[in-house]
Structure 1
Amino acid sequence: MAPTELGDYLRARRAQLRPERVGLPSLGPRRVPGLRREEIALLVGVSVDYYVRLEQGRERGPSAQVVDALSSALRLDADGRQHLFRLAGLAPRTRTSAAPDRVDPSLRQLMTAWPDNPAIVYNRACDVLASNAIADALFHDWTHSRNLMHIVFTDPVARQFYTAWHDVARNAVAGFRFGHGEAPDDSRIQQVLNELRSRSPEFTRLWTTHDARGKSMQSKNFHHRDVGPLTLTMQTFDVRSTPGQTLVVYHAAPDSPSSHALTLLGSLAATIRENP
């Protein structure tokens, strides 16, 4: 029987755990990294044979009790636990072909009212569906792509634009996989996934780690070609009126160099609009 998403995820998570982290003796060098199958089975309270069947795709219907025990044994955070329950068929997964691309006009108006705060709305495939003027200026008017994953992994200047590129790349893939787990039949997600696999070895390597996390508040460091370095905090919100859409708003610490640079970026954007 072919491996399943569930089996692949369990195997990847197991490989990233050290025995001492879960209170087990290390017992010397290991042939492969991470915990052994029998160690996970012991922590979960199931037979080794049953756990092996889960990883190999020969057991596809674990109970909620077993999945909960697996999430504890694998030390999953809340997003990882939710992802695991989805893969096990114990949490809802969106079965529509794609989230609507239309952004509510009132949300667009709200974004326009934030001239000093870059704001974007994107879908599960990371396509930017709406952006305000200062976000357009921050992302160089989307000259490379309006897909955030494409920007991170296929834009030649991405490693200069994102000064902590490796962290951004890792978090981007984790968020993309979380969206994929939520809507596995979304054709646009599959299209972007196939494009990235064919064009970016870095994406392919990170995809095999099976990290899955939703977006949360975090800081990002940018180096903009016009205004220099920027450290911005991003706040992320689900668009409740349109499931599958996410609103991200960036801001800088008050009276900081990044705040002054953001103000300058807004002025440059306004000048360009007035003198196209």
Structure 2
Amino acid sequence: MGTPLGDFIRAKRDATSPADLGLPDDGRRRAPGLRRIELATRAGMSVEYLTRIEQGRDRNPTLPVLRAIADGLSLNVAERRHLTFLAKIAGGACVGQRQLNPAPLRQEVRPATLETLRLLEPAGVAMVTNKLGDVLAHTSAFNRLLQPTGLLDAEDPNLLRYLFTDPRAQQALLNWEYVADVQTFDLWHAPTLTAAEWLKAEIAAQAGPEFTARLSRNLPPESRPWQIRLPGGIVTKWQREVLETPAEPEQQIVILIPADEQTRNAFAQGQLEQDHSEQDRWGQVTPLRAV
């Protein structure tokens, strides 16, 4: 039986061409990607040992072995962090901790985190979310940008549920597939295993292969701008930046920064203005859960 660690290494190897690593390609490959022997050679290990790791027969590779595999695949920082995380799961180092904490994720946002959002007002497009995709608080500018998309219509907005169950998501997000990849990948790092499994089951039943295929991939998506269509057909591009909150590690502040001049100008010229409700006045952070 395989492991997420082995699946990740194999998936990354399949997605890496020899040319990416400066290796010659003889053109006689049964499948695209890096051969196992090529990775084993670059990592300085035997093909047999690499095979055992990929197939889940060796669940406790040492840190030097993980570093060698990471170097062999030329993993970036996010991918190296994910590789280490999956190794802990494979070896059982963090599974017990995750299973011993089946309680739902904390939904309340700390006053200090809300104050950070207030410092981004009135122009900052930002929200507080967790690794399950629950939107816990947001700035007024976030409301003006995302309200027309339907994301905030639900009583308890959730990005993952919105992406896979609301048809408006694919109309509003021009690169919907990429955003879906990002939010699905976040589930790997949900601090409560029970809550993550519950959400996976709920969404899988509604979304089917669109969701489950992404979940099994477990490759960290590359950073790209989110493309959001505004009313009137204006296309805006936003770079997603994530600020971790150490005091509340299951939560994070997500900031959307204009990624091009058209987006910056549209925002500056007030083209994102909407009719505001009492909960969305200029300069007011909207916590969706009581503190």
**What is aligned with 1:203?**
211
Query: In 1, Cα distance between the equivalents of 2:233 and 2:140?
Result: 16
Q: CA deviation at 1:226?
A: 7.2
TM-score with structure 1 length normalisation? 0.82
Matches within 5 A, 1:8-47: 8-47=7-46
State how far apart, in whole Å, the 1-side matches of 2:52 and 2:236 are: 49
3-12 or 109-118: bigger deviation: 109-118
For 1:198 and 1:237, how far apart are their aligned partners in 2? Answer: 32
Structure 1 counterpart of 2:286: none
Aligned equivalent of 1:172: 183
- Map of 1:14-163 to 2, 5 A cutoff? 14-89=13-88, 93=94, 95=98, 96-97=101-102, 99-112=105-118, 114-140=121-147, 142-144=152-154, 146-163=157-174
Distance apart, 1:39 and its partner CA: 1.8
The CA RMSD over aligned residues, in Å, is 3.0
Q: Give the Cα separation in 2 of the matches to 1:92 and 1:260.
A: 52
Letter in 2 for 1:129: L
Classify 1:10/1:235 alpha carbon distance in 2 versus 1 (closer, same or farther; 3 Å).
closer
- Within the alignment, does 1:256 sit opposite 2:255 as a pair? no
> What CA distance in whole angstroms lies between the structure 2 residues aligned with 1:191 and 1:17?
33
Judge conservation of contact 1:112–1:133 (CA < 8 Å) in 2: no
Aligned length: 265
Deviations 1:236-263 (A, max 9, x none): 2112221110112334469612332455
Give SS of 1:171's match.
helix
CA distance in 2: counterparts of 1:83 and 1:251, whole angstroms: 25
> How many angstroms apart in 2 are the aligned matches of 1:48 and 1:212?
25
Q: Structure 2 length normalisation: TM-score?
A: 0.78
Tell me the distance in 2 between the aligned counterparts of 1:151 and 1:256.
Answer: 28
Any stretches of 5+ residues in structure 2 without a counterpart? 282-291
Comparing 147-156 and 92-101, the one that deviates more = 92-101
Q: 1:154 touches 1:199 (CA, 8 Å); kept in 2?
A: yes
Any gaps of 5 or more consecutive residues in structure 1?
A: none
What is residue 225 of structure 1 aligned with on the other side?
Answer: 231
Paired with 1:125 and 1:272, the residues of 2 have a C-alpha distance of 24
How many Å separate the matches in 2 of 1:255 and 1:39?
45
Contact 1:99 1:245 in 2 (8 A): no
Amino acid at match of 2:167: P
| Secondary structure of the corresponding residue to residue 208 of structure 1 | helix
8 Å Cα contact 1:235/1:249 also seen in 2: yes
Higher deviation after alignment, 93-102 or 20-29: 93-102
* Contact kept? 2:230, 2:236, Cα under 8 Å: yes
Q: Which protein has greater RCO, CA pairs closer than 8 Å, 6+ apart?
A: 2
2:252 aligned with 1:246: yes
TM superposition shift of 1:230: 3.3
CA distance 1:160–1:75, shift in 2 (3 Å): same
* Alignment partners' CA distance in 1, 2:43 and 2:146: 46
1:121 aligned partner, one-letter code: V
**1:181-223 CA distance string (max 9 Å, x none):** xx3x432222222233333222222233321259x7x632212
